[in-house]
Structure 1
Amino acid sequence: MTTAADPRDRPLCVSALTSGGRRAVLLTSDGIPIEAEHRPAAGGAKDLAVVVAHGFTGALERPAVRRAAGVLGAEGGVVTFSFRGHGGSGGRSTVGDREVLDLDAAVGWARRLGYARVATVGFSMGGSVVLRQAGAGADAGLRPVDAVVSVSSPARWYYRGTAPMRRVHWVITRPAGRLVSRVGLGTRIHTRDWDPVPRSPVESVPYIAPVPLLIVHGDRDGYFPLDHPLSLAAAAGGDGAELWIERGFGHAENAADARLLGRVGAWITASGAGR
């Protein structure tokens, strides 16, 4: 699946990295500068790029994101980025709403770099974003992708059924929580409520097919219990998604070890996205 070059895919600036990759600042369709990094595949192959979408309070510089990028790099080029309000990106986090535009800018950059196929891999908040971006697709003016992996994603919004999620909601909704987030976690959160409320992950999943979809969740996830991945898989219907419930796995990129990440990468290639 390929698309024509789009002027929005041109980064505002690009600089060399000593590692051989490239750092860029991308501009989203709503004007937010997003920091991004491209690490090319071995030998410079342009068959597949994997775009990695981190969880809430993450960033491309975080060790867990770098670990994921390093393992997934065995399958092709890798693009990492920081969502708005995170790391060196501009704007403020909308916790999964406008972040689809950040992911879309990263997908667009991968296309601009010449990759024939692009897969997205998202964790937690990023997991919800990859589902929403793929489910919205061309009807919303977003770029197509060739495979989607959603790890530790919520199925629905406003979930407060676990103590960790009640703490997350305190951080998001209370002035004191947003101060803690900004100062302690380096994440700037928008103060306005969603208006309108965006389509939820479980509402987005039915629109992803025929793009291959993998849903990964841990049986020790302290944030979202197993009804979330089961709901997502059910919404995909029939053969619309492959579901992995991982024994002993906790939550998102911080808990994902090299073995699990390697299996995810192999799945992307086996799905056809890497061919």
Structure 2
Amino acid sequence: MSNGPAGHVARSTVRPNSETTRRTPMRTFLYTDDGVTIDSVYDPGAVVYDASRPPADDLVFVVAHGFTGDVDKPHVGRVAEAFTRQGAVVTFSFRGHGASGGRSTVGDREVLDLAAAVRWARELGHARVVTVGFSMGGSVVLRHAAIYGENGGTAPERGAERGAHTDAVVSVSAPARWYYRGTPHMRRLHWLVTRPEGRLVGRYGFRTRIHHREWNPVPMSPVEAVPRIAPTPLLIVHGDRDGYFPLDHPRMLARAAGDHGELWLEPGMGHAEHAAGDALLERIGHWAVSQGG
């Protein structure tokens, strides 16, 4: 992948004959509002040129990975590749993950990382941004949409500047509430985050550097964020075999969204990116395109 400056993207014109063209991705580091460097990749995707209609250059997916993921992990790359069939894609590594700076706060300050990625996507010329988050990233896209709402949001910690808002939100395999320890997977994750020896495993086993400090104050929970997202379109996706968060989590989120949100409970699906098959990712992409108006 080649490095490229933020704010520049090659534009193409419609060609006489229908064809598919793959444009060159770019990779760079973004800076968050609190000064953390975020490793980020922009993939313009596979654009289908057709004389009867212009390419949909306005749509971009910004993908927020799960805990211990990063832009170089194969499961994150597979998700990004699937969405390039529907539009451009921005992927990035959350703070403390991969080559990004800082330390992971496990869903708190990561909202600033997503805001930087969304802002970059708009600087590249995209008018429509769809944020898609998985697990921890799923909680981040919910809180981000509440804080950086196009109409200003209501959360006190939101950024004042415009340009970081999203036009649609997809949250996959997200928790509804914090501190959940009801499954073996989540008890192991809490050990990883809260114990010194666990954080060593995170650093050297998963390329994830975890902050040792507890949240202070505790951030707004996903279920508290959901009612503040309207009128931005919202899709909640969850597997009925999720080993981390059982079905009461997506149902809590859906109840909080009311008539505004849409809930897909996926039969046989496990947790997050690893469990999201190509067919599901394609359906999510079609949902995102349908929100264009």
Q: For residues 108-130 of structure 1, give each alpha carbon's deviation from its aligned partner in whole angstroms, at most 9, with x where no partner exists.
A: 00000000110000000000000
Residues 23, 46 of structure 2: 8 Å contact kept: no
1:47 Cα shift? 1.2
* Alignment correspondent of 1:37: 41
* Alignment correspondent of 1:4: none
* Alignment correspondent of 1:171: 192
Distance 1:41 1:179 in 2: 37
* Alignment correspondent of 2:260: 240
Residues 12, 26 of structure 1: 8 Å contact kept: no
| Alignment length (residue pairs) | 260
* Alignment correspondent of 1:84: 95
Q: Please give the secondary structure, in 2, of the residue aligned with 1:179.
A: helix
* Alignment correspondent of 1:222: 243
Distance 1:154 1:31 in 2: 27
* Alignment correspondent of 2:84: 73
Distance 1:125 1:83 in 2: 10
Distance 2:8 2:219 in 1: 31
Distance 1:254 1:62 in 2: 11
Distance 1:60 1:130 in 2: 17
Distance 1:166 1:198 in 2: 20
1:247 Cα shift? 0.3
Distance 2:34 2:271 in 1: 30
Distance 1:174 1:150 in 2: 28
Q: For residues 75-130 of structure 1, give each alpha carbon's deviation from its aligned partner in whole angstroms, at most 9, with x where no partner exists.
A: 11000000000011000000000000000000000000000110000000000000
* Alignment correspondent of 1:160: 181
Would you say 1:59 and 2:70 are equivalent positions?
Answer: yes
Among 221, 224, 227, which residue is 1:206 paired with?
227
Structure 1 consecutive aligned stretches of length 4 or more whose deviation exceeds 4 Å: 10-14
1:42 Cα shift? 3.2
* Alignment correspondent of 1:106: 117
Would you say 1:260 and 2:280 are equivalent positions?
Answer: yes
Tell me the C-alpha RMSD between the 2 structures. 1.8
Distance 1:61 1:269 in 2: 26
Q: For residues 212-236 of structure 1, give each alpha carbon's deviation from its aligned partner in whole angstroms, at most 9, with x where no partner exists.
A: 0000000000000000000000001
Question: Whose relative contact order is higher, 1 or 2, with alpha carbons under 8 Å and at least 6 apart?
Answer: 1
Distance 2:105 2:219 in 1: 11
Residues 12, 27 of structure 1: 8 Å contact kept: no
Q: Please give the secondary structure, in 2, of the residue aligned with 1:154.
A: coil
Structure 1: runs of 5 or more not aligned: 1-9
Q: Name the amino acid aligned to 1:119.
A: V
Distance 1:182 1:42 in 2: 35
Residues 7, 123 of structure 2: 8 Å contact kept: no
Q: Name the amino acid aligned to 1:246.
A: E
Among 25, 31, 40, which residue is 1:27 paired with?
31
Distance 1:19 1:85 in 2: 30
**Percent of residue pairs bearing the same amino acid type:** 63
Distance 1:13 1:114 in 2: 8
Give TM-score, length-normalised by structure 1: 0.91
Distance verdict in 2 for CA 1:12–1:118, change over 3 Å: closer
Distance 1:41 1:35 in 2: 19
Q: Name the amino acid aligned to 1:249.
A: M
* Alignment correspondent of 1:6: none
Residues 11, 27 of structure 1: 8 Å contact kept: no
